[in-house]
A = this chain, B = another copy of it.
Amino acid sequence: MQLKIALGQMEIVPGRPDLNSTTMLEMIGEARKQQADIIIFPEMSIPGYLLGDTWEQEAYLQDCEEFGRQIVQASGDITILFGNVAVDWHKRGDDSRVRKYNAFFIAQNGRLKGDDNFPYPYRIKTLQPNYREFDDDRHFYSLKKLAQELNRQPEDLLSPVFITIKGRRLGLGCLLCEDGWSDDYFTKPIPILGQKGDVHLFINISSSPFTLGKNNKRNRIFAKQAAEAGVPLIYVNNVGIQNNGKTIYTFDGSSTVYSKKGEVIYYSSKPFQASLDTLELDLETGGTDAAPAEICDDHTTGYIYQSLAYGLKKFTQAIGISKVVIGISGGIDSAVSAALYAGVMGPENLLLINMPSQFNSQTTRNLALELAKNLNCRYTVLPIQESVDYTTRQIQETPVIHPLTGEETRLKLSPFMIENIQARDRSSRILAAVAAAFGGGFTCNANKAETTVGYSTLYGDLSGFLAVLADLWKHQVYQLAHYLNSEVYDREVIPQGIIDIVPSAELSFDQAVDEGKGDPLVYPYHDYLFRSFVQWWNKATPEDILVWYKEGSLEEKLGCTPGLVKKHFPTAAAFIADLERWWRLYNGIGVAKRIQSPPILAVSRRAFGFDHREAQNGVYFTRKYLELKKQLLSE
């Protein structure tokens, strides 16, 4: 039997059930024209998924239910599968609020299916993720919890939904996102449903944020499970962006169909694009007549670029920003940022500003101007020296008075304090005001290495409406620079001089680029060290680093170039001093700065903010670390 299936890879706008249901109704109309038997929409297609505590508004829940009823009514000759929040108004969640499920609805002939073998006329999520950016247990009651409440096992409740299409009775194995990623759970929905024997088709509806390398992993895991069950599996994911406040996620769609043999027989060719594709699935062979699908490797700089460009476009649209001001220093981060924004928003919507002080070299000033010309963006130079001098003078010359004694004292600013005055002068005095006058926002150009250790000034370079590069390590920023020149623009928009110059904040003569002086970070090493602190699934600490250093396996473990450590840190004492310096900053002022930093566009596993969560608890070294350090220093 051939089933004609429409994959509703829609853009979900979080918090807008009105828009989402309109999109769905349009796609249903289109699928009906194409004579599809079934149309499948993603998880939480009506409410959106990442909503913060909007789930605590009962009026919002009722609204989503009402829009869900409209979708059900739109079914008839076409069977509609979609995700929505389901509310049991008679039961409570553990938080005493009304009970909510992350639910999978199947509608046919204007009615919901599936309550013949389940307590509700819908299916609910069995496995709820509570790691990274996910907080499912905060809001939703899982099938596992429901089973326990009913004094049963999850296996008892997991049952297919039976529908009849073209006179044939079909069992659908309904999965919600994480249900397919059961490796680390003792409840494994696909094998459990598969063993029940009457599932003809697995359908996984997801709202799965893009993360570098995730699709490759999904294809391995899902293909294996489809093959083991001997049942085809359809995965439908949304596009769009959703956020948790601090962390913004893109959704690439990448909807996929796996045959009963585990072959990828359909792969959405357009990541980050809404699409309604239909395919004929042969239920007997569990495959299609079409040629095997091509899978795009998602672990490339090109994919990072796509994700960033898409996220940038959608986020600026969502918050109503169409014009952007970028402070360009002549360095790599602001140059990549400018090239990225110019491509997405159009050079006519950018204003680039160079804000030199006495410490900025002619070299970087020229490079900044060259960049603006290459990108064809409007440009201005607003020097900060006069204002910085005024501030310095005003603070140092105004008396501080003791109200009782009348005693007068003066404040003194150190060179380091004046460095920070420069940074704040640029962002808070100039960029914020210019952005308002230009009718838009200004950008934060920080990368992930700087952000990790707070190598930035609060209310200075660590400000702006979005930190588009803050989930990229410095080496990824360089890769993106090359990609922008060679693939996106096909010409050297980012001058080679900017790529070649030593990275420097140019806040003092100690950071003079023309003398080859720059940042205290050795990016080819620190990028990888910091990655092990932040991004590894089991986070590394100085204890682990020192163990590996001692046994000579550090560079291999971290994945950086061999020989680097010895070159930069000839002695154990130098190595340890460097390690402790950055560990202190990462756990100390770095956390304080990140609490007030702009939202970050996520690319990797563990973006700062809501994926990597942290407390301002200060620095800690384990006992074993301290022992190892003692040993190494006495050797």
Q: CB within 8 Å of B: which residues of A? A: 14-16, 18, 48, 50-54, 56-60, 62-63, 66, 92-98, 127, 129-131, 135, 137-138, 144, 147-149, 151, 153-154, 183-187, 242-246, 248, 318-319, 351, 369, 372-373, 376-382, 386-387, 390-391, 394-395, 398-404, 409, 411-414, 417, 420-421, 424-425, 427-430, 432-434, 436-438, 458-460, 463, 465, 537-541, 543-544, 591-592, 594-599, 612-618, 620, 622-625
Contacts and interface: CB of A to CB of B under 8 A. Distances in A.
Given A56-B539, A597-B596, A613-B53, A381 B398 contact: yes
A459 B424 CA distance: 9
B130 A94 contact: yes
A595 B395 contact: no
Contacts of A48: 617
A437 B412 CA distance: 6
Contact of A184 (B60, B94, B137, B319): B94
A398 B50 CA distance: 43
A377 B395 contact: no
A624 B459 CA distance: 42
A581 to B, nearest CB: 17
A601 B467 CA distance: 26
A618 B318 contact: yes
Given A429-B425, A624-B59, A184 B93 contact: yes
B60 A541 contact: yes
A95 B130 contact: yes
A459 B614 CA distance: 23
A284 to B, nearest CB: 37
B429 A424 contact: yes
A460 B414 CA distance: 23
Contacts of A386: 390
A57 B541 contact: yes
B387 A390 contact: yes
A57 B539 contact: yes
Given A135-B130, A436-B420, A595-B598, A624 B62 contact: yes
A429 B432 contact: no
Contacts of A135: 130, 135, 138, 613
9 contacts: A52-B613, A54-B617, A59-B622, A130-B135, A138-B613, A147-B148, A373-B403, A424-B432, A428-B429
Contacts of A18: 620, 623
Contacts of A93: 184
B404 A373 contact: yes
Given A387-B390, A391-B430, A401 B379 contact: yes
B15 A620 contact: yes
Contacts of A401: 378-380
